[in-house]
Amino acid sequence: MLKPSLPALALAAACVAAHAQTVTEQPEVVVTASRVATTVDAALADVSVITRADIEASGAPDLYDLLRMQAGVDIARAGGPGQQAAVFLRGTNSNHVLVLVDGVRVASANTGGLDWSQLPLHAIERVEIVRGPRASYWGSDAIGGVIQIFTRKLDGPRAAVQYGSYRDAAGSAGIGRWGEQGGFSVQAGLRHVGGFSAQNPQGFSFNPDDDGYRSRNLAARGAYRLGAQTLSATLLRNDSDNAFDQGRTHVVEQSAGVGLDGALAEGWTHRLSLGLAHDSLLTPDFFSLLKSHRESLTWQNTFALGAQQRLIAGLEYVEEHGESRDTFAGSTLYADSRHNAAAFTGWQGGAGRLDWELAARRDQNSEFGGATTGSAALGLRLADWARVTGSWGRAFRGPNLNEQFSPGYGGLFAGNPALKPERSRSGELALELTPTPALRAKLAAYRTDVSDLIDFTGPAFRAENTARARIDGVEADLDWHAGAWAASANATWQDPRDARTDAPLLRRPRHKGNLLLTRTFGERLDAGVELVAAGPSPDFGGDLPGYAIVNARLGITLAPAWHLQLRAENLADRDYALIRGYNTPGRSGWIELVWQP
């Protein structure tokens, strides 16, 4: 299934099947690819969308379960729900993925990481995944791509309860009301997971007790029209307690945004936005407290240049502060701040069968200096149902505060204020086919070179710009629907390697494939089967074996306002590992009851 020839065979078979009864679907509108609204089929970037309908039909308890079904996305979670997870996009490092919540950058300024368990699925409206470098629009971190989460916009009341394996209980309730002048939406939720042991005897700190997770979260948004302008605000907060084999952590992650957008003149629209992000990680067993906060101010303008062209131009200013404390000694290990100013522009247009996009950005950071990035993309329609695209881009990742200022541990693993940004160059060539309204397919090949990677090396393992990486990859996507049936499949082949030693990069399998087959039975019943498969994955101590697991789901509409969703995972109870020494869930299931009139 994972050989490169299979997507072509699947495409041929689907083309024959597509002559059955079909329903035309409108393409999704996305904003992450170029900061302005563009349909997926018109975007010159590789974009996937996880909609609210996808989330509800899956019955999944975590965003983890949906992300791992996407092409080019690999996830390594250190145990069960609530444990730390690393998300790799197109084979790049986990900190090479820019994560936004409602346009607000949310990764910690201290560590550059994000606790993905802090993103409650019931509060998410949609997820946009853009593969490839987008630094010319978004700045630092967008080497492998961008994942943007949009919070829920309820229109009316909603309540849900869910229970599943490992004593996993969750509930949420909210209400929203919207009209011509604006509106509001607010939703709160709780989740308590008894869990299982994060590690097994191969782990370095194995403890056989269950490692559970408790979280409390709140999501809210509002908007109000002021003439031609709209004032809006969003908030997402999650407060959790996570157990792991060496102790417990208390994690708080919060993001908030305020925006004013609308038309300033004919052909000229703008958005002025203020973003606030805060995170706190307290680990009493290690006497450690990490806190960071970030404030950003962005003014983005879009100018229409005729019927088929537009110009995007903007300014951005970001302030970051982070601190690390020793809670046993009551001392501050470091407390530092930095700021970043940037200007960006993009030109998008089309003429006949040709589409293009050029973008550039200049960042100037108070600590690591300047970074200039750019990208170019070209699309050519060979026919009404076929398009070939090519793109090239540069991106960078600025060092996080830990890498710059941490004093280390006993003189080891110390930060380095002289660090330079990590830099990358990427190229991509893709073929998109839509032979019928019921069938869409895409085949993309890419190469990414990353230089000045930050590594802890030398006699004292100090942070240095010494490493390099090269990543080659091919991705194939296929979506098909006919009548009550629908199927989506993707396959990924990638070769991420250390360019100095030719060793493979850890925890990124060379081959991966996913399949989702669904069927509706009237208006009250829908069912689906998922296949998740991956080849061997490099890890410390040698390759981890490949695996394949099968999941199933069933949705039942009990009444117009009541819906029951059932989900079963790992039906064959396969024993597999994503990280050596860490456990993964066995055969498990969840049931959810939703009331939404």
Residue 117 has a pLDDT of 86
**DSSP states of 308-355 as a string?**
S-EEEEEEEEEEEEEEEEETTTTEEEEEEEEEEEEEEEEEEEEETTEE
Distance CA 303, CA 287 (A): 52
5 pLDDT higher than 60: no
Residue 28 has a pLDDT of 83
Query: Would you say the pTM of this structure is higher than 0.85?
Result: yes
4 pLDDT higher than 60: no
- What confidence category does residue 12 fall into, taking pLDDT thresholds of 50, 70 and 90? very low
Instruction: List the chain domain ranges.
Output: 5-595
Q: Ramachandran region of residue 79, left (φ > 0), alpha (ψ -120 to 50) or beta?
A: left
Distance CA 66, CA 54 (A): 9
Residue 19 has a pLDDT of 37
Report the percent of the chain where pLDDT is more than 70: 96
- What confidence category does residue 27 fall into, taking pLDDT thresholds of 50, 70 and 90? confident
10 pLDDT higher than 60: no
pLDDT tens-digit readout, 349-377? 999 999 999 999 999 999 999 999 999 99
Mean pLDDT of 248-259: 96
DSSP-based three-state secondary structure for 214: strand
Mean pLDDT of 98-122: 94
Torsion of CA 489, 429, 372, 277, to 10 degrees: -10
409 pLDDT higher than 90: no
Mean pLDDT of 205-215: 93
Average model confidence (pLDDT) for the chain?
93
DSSP-based three-state secondary structure for 296: strand
Q: Are 364 and 340 in contact, with CB atoms under 8 Å apart?
A: yes
Distance CA 149, CA 34 (A): 15
Mean pLDDT of 324-345: 95
Mean pLDDT of 183-209: 95
- What confidence category does residue 26 fall into, taking pLDDT thresholds of 50, 70 and 90? low
Residue 25 has a pLDDT of 55
Name the amino acid, one letter, at 467.
A
- What confidence category does residue 16 fall into, taking pLDDT thresholds of 50, 70 and 90? very low
Distance CA 240, CA 113 (A): 16
pLDDT tens-digit readout, 469-520? 999 999 999 999 999 999 999 999 999 999 999 999 999 999 999 999 999 9
Q: Are 274 and 259 in contact, with CB atoms under 8 Å apart?
A: yes
- What confidence category does residue 79 fall into, taking pLDDT thresholds of 50, 70 and 90? very high
Distance CA 211, CA 241 (A): 10
233 pLDDT higher than 60: yes
Residue 371 has a pLDDT of 96
Report the percent of the chain where pLDDT is more than 90: 90
Q: For 5-595, CATH number?
A: 2.40.170.20
Residue 210 has a pLDDT of 95
